[in-house]
């Protein structure tokens, strides 16, 4: 199962303060915009997303079809195929990607300790 690029999506209360904090750790803005209440930041191949009050808690995020530079990969497992494999293993999903579509889609699941995981395909 190819899950694609990995990042941690953080729910932040003050986007500017979080941006400054992570810049002090060597992260640089890679994508996003303060006016849209989110920034994607990188430090080498490590990616974090800062999202101002867009969701509850923090989320482990995988992007099938993308590498760590948001470039489309030559081959990847479609989000719907990953979903089918997980359901076939009896994994409970919080929500599902529509099986009647192609291209971008997402679904979420929760690990045994309550951590949210999003499989979010953009291609």
pTM over 0.85? The answer is yes
Across the chain, mean pLDDT equals 97
Q: CATH for 5-121?
A: 3.10.180.10
> Could you tell me the two tokens for 87?
């359901």
- Give the tens place of pLDDT for each residue, 61-117: 999 999 999 999 999 999 999 999 999 999 999 999 999 999 999 999 999 999 999
- Do 111 and 62 form a contact (C-beta atoms < 8 A)? no
pLDDT, residue 51, reads 97
Q: How far apart are CA 23 and CA 2, in angstroms?
A: 30
Question: What one-character DSSP code corresponds to residue 35?
Answer: G
**Six-digit token string for 93:** 């999903």
């Amino acid at each position: 199962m190819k899950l694609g690029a990995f990042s941690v999506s953080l729910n932040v209360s003050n986007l500017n303060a979080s941006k400054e904090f992570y810049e002090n750790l060597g992260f640089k803005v890679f994508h996003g915009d303060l006016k849209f209440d989110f920034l994607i930041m990188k430090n080498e191949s490590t990616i974090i997303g800062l999202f101002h009050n867009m969701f509850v808690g923090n989320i482990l995020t995988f992007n099938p079809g993308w590498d760590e530079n948001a470039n489309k990969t030559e081959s990847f497992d479609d989000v719907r195929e990953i979903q089918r494999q997980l359901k076939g293993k009896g994994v409970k999903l919080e929500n599902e990607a529509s099986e009647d579509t192609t291209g971008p889609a997402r679904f979420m699941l929760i690990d045994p300790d309550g951590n949210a995981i999003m499989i979010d395909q953009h291609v």
